[in-house]
Structure 1
Amino acid sequence: MPGTDIISGYCIDVFVAAVNLLPYPIPYKFIPFGDGHQNPNYNKLVELVASGDFDAAVGDISIVTNRTKIVDFTQPYIDSGLVILAPVKQHHSDAWAFLQPFTVEMWCVTGVFFLVVGAVVWILEHRINDQFRGPPKRQIVTVFWFSFSTLFFAHKETTVSTLGRAVLIIWLFVVLIIQSSYTASLTSILTVQHLSSPVKGIDSLIHSNDPIGIQVGSFAENYLVEELGIARSRLKVLGTPEEYARALELGPSNDGVAAVIDEQPYIEIFLSTECSFAIVGSQFTRNGWGFAFPRDSSLAVDLSTAILALSENGDLQRIHDKWLTRSGCTQSTDLESDRLDLGSFWGLFLICGMACTVALIIYFFLMLRQFLRHYPVEETDSSGQGSSRSARSLHSFFSFVDEKEEDVKNRSKRKQMQQAGNNNADIESEHRFVSP
């Protein structure tokens, strides 16, 4: 406590409770390390234990690799890890909130697929389904109406062909997933209070050039530089919670920081009184706090056993609640989740696109086979130009595809009956010619 010889705190209470569980007495004396105003350098504190200047180090010392090489740590008495602290603002719904669940790319791709599926179904049904025939204007309206009515499963046109039904079933499944996701996201937007932040997580910080605040003496500096490749010039050392708040309020454009990276217990205590900030993203390292002892110290093993006993009997949680649970700021808002983008649904669109492509390929070969059967290739004049013959054949094929299948079959039957009649007439004429 300031101004007295009494030293207290969360780490001190855990240490004292663990020592009281040892089967033998241990005399100890706490010696403050640091100036009492700013956080000390924890790496230097651990080095002093390794060199024998201190018999042990009791405090919020993170167990990291470079420290375990020179000292022994006890069992972690609290889980920790690096998190991102950033300023947030309350997100209010507006008149265009119904567009927010999807990104612009998602809306565009979804709209295109509605039209594509409508056109594919029209092609597959045009020859055999009267509901997909008629004047050009009516057919265009039918394509648009059928496409977007599937969003509400309210399409009145029935599909007759097997290929059309297969495409429609797959598309309706895609629509079901999209509709369910949209409804859930929109419900969350309109009913839950959200906070929004320009910083979305560690990835967005890595790919930006904004300055990042870190705690003085924290292992976060080496981790960000050596493991994540962040330039050391972007890191700004901060020593107190007041400096955290001031740097975050100034922002990167006013000699402040875009975010602060620190261990979760510190951030939770900071957020207990500062409601205009929040943790963004998820915890991206896993470690804990422990007490440091010289190498091969038996006390490290015995205190680890005592810490496990404190955890099992509930004393460790009670000490945690005494020091680290605060109720000054009762903020129950959630950080705004990312909007649903194309990456979440590209698999569904891929399946639907493949189904449409396969159906069109099969339909093309079926039409080509029927066209060759009803309109066999005729021998053309050798003096005719190949390009004109190809153009006439292509025009005939598209005219055939545009015709109603029933009309094609009836015309084919009439042609066959006419040919049969001509054959019979030729036979009768031949008999009359050869008769005596």
Structure 2
Amino acid sequence: MRTTSNVKPDLFSFLKSFSRNLWLLFFGTITYAGILICIVERKDNEVLENRSILNQIVMSIWYSFGNVVGFGVDFEIATAAGRLLTASLYILGLILVASYTANLAADLTIAKSNNIISGIDDIKNGKIPSNRIGILANSAEEDYYLTQISNGVRNFYPLKTYDEIYRSLLEGIIDTSIPDNGILEYATNNIYCNLTLIGNDFDKSSYGIVMPQHWSYAQDLDMNILPLKEGGDLKNLRQKWFEMQLCPDSSGTSTDIGIEAASGLFLVFGVISILSLLLFAWKKRQNIKNCLCQLIYRKGSSAETKDSMNRRSSRTFEHSQNHQITLPDIV
């Protein structure tokens, strides 16, 4: 059996409930919402109107963050557009906080879960009932169990084939088994992904090649196998056929929530924020109209002033030309 890898505590494991991109999107959304609130509230909110632009933006971002995470803020919204934007922040915070809490609880539960045994010593110490231990009948594993664990008492759950071992484990008939490590290693890595190996290797044995007794080519076979072992070819063959892994690595599987899972939520927030801007523009339509009229008037006035200056400069130029022409006649 194989030793399970110990999970080291991570000081920042609480951040792994969300992916890095989702955290960046979250704080970017908070900043975006704060700027929008500053735009729609800075002229109508008594708390914001007498402050500097930087102070208004900081307070608006703090207001957005407070509404998302669910605690009180220092001022209240005064406009309809601000209330609509605040409602979208409530929706965003409600779903994000619930998702974060659920995912963090799941991660902590998985981190605390341990195997019922840690190796062969737990079986020897009786941590698992003997009738919950599956042993292949008439095998080397049975001899090991009788001599090293039960002192000759056949109190285990007898099994006939390896397929019966795997099926009994998956169906919960037995809790553990002691089959051959090489066969079980291949099966758990490539076929039965819900099964795993635990503990250290014990009672190691070697693979043998069956040949006739007093075979004339036995010495030649030994001489050819020896360079394969020394050159690492046998180790490579073992890694290729026994240690290959088609099952996904559960220890490296990411459980964080990505942008794809929350994209619909942020899309809804974006639509509501656009609606709040349109509502703000509708409420301020008269002011916007006056500003546009003043801008057009200023552009028209500047154009007329520029044209008048051009005509004046043209007249001055013509007068200077006439003066230069008449001056020689007088002389």
Taking structure 1 as the reference length, the TM-score comes to 0.37
The structure having more radius of gyration, on CA atoms, is: 2
* Structure (1 or 2) with the greater strand fraction: 1
Instruction: Name the structure where helix makes up a greater proportion of residues.
Output: 2
Task: Calculate the TM-score normalised by the size of structure 2.
Answer: 0.47
